[in-house]
């Protein structure tokens, strides 16, 4: 078993490599000497959730809320723009 301090250093190094965005889970895991499933678990614990280049299966939600009273104006502008482009 890996001593706790060594394990913590490996985890920290692994997460740094992944956060930079230039290493895959497999590459980062090999670099610190742990199994890929260990690296994956470290990420899922929340410490690696803000990675720049991780393989997320769901893209971030970029929708915005539009106030009800603004919707008719937006609809009209979109309709006018469509007419001009036809």
Distance (Å, whole) CA 54 – CA 63: 21
Angle of the 25-32 helix axis to the 4-20 helix axis, nearest 10: 150
Q: What is the pTM of this model?
A: 0.50
Render pLDDT for 73-83 as a digit per residue (tens, 0 to 9).
Answer: 998 988 888 76
pLDDT digits (tens, 9 = 90+) for 27-63: 999 999 999 999 999 988 864 444 554 555 667 777 8
- What is the rounded distance in angstroms from the CA atom of residue 62 to the CA atom of residue 72? 21
């Amino acid at each position: 078993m890996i001593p706790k301090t060594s394990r913590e250093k490996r985890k920290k190094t692994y997460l740094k490599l992944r956060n930079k965005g230039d290493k895959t889970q497999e590459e980062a895991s090999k670099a610190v000497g742990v199994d890929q499933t260990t690296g994956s678990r470290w990420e899922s614990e929340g410490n690696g959730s803000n990675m720049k280049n991780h393989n997320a299966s769901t893209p971030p939600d970029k929708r915005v809320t539009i106030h009800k009273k603004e919707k008719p104006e937006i609809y009209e502008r979109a309709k006018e723009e469509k007419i001009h482009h036809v």
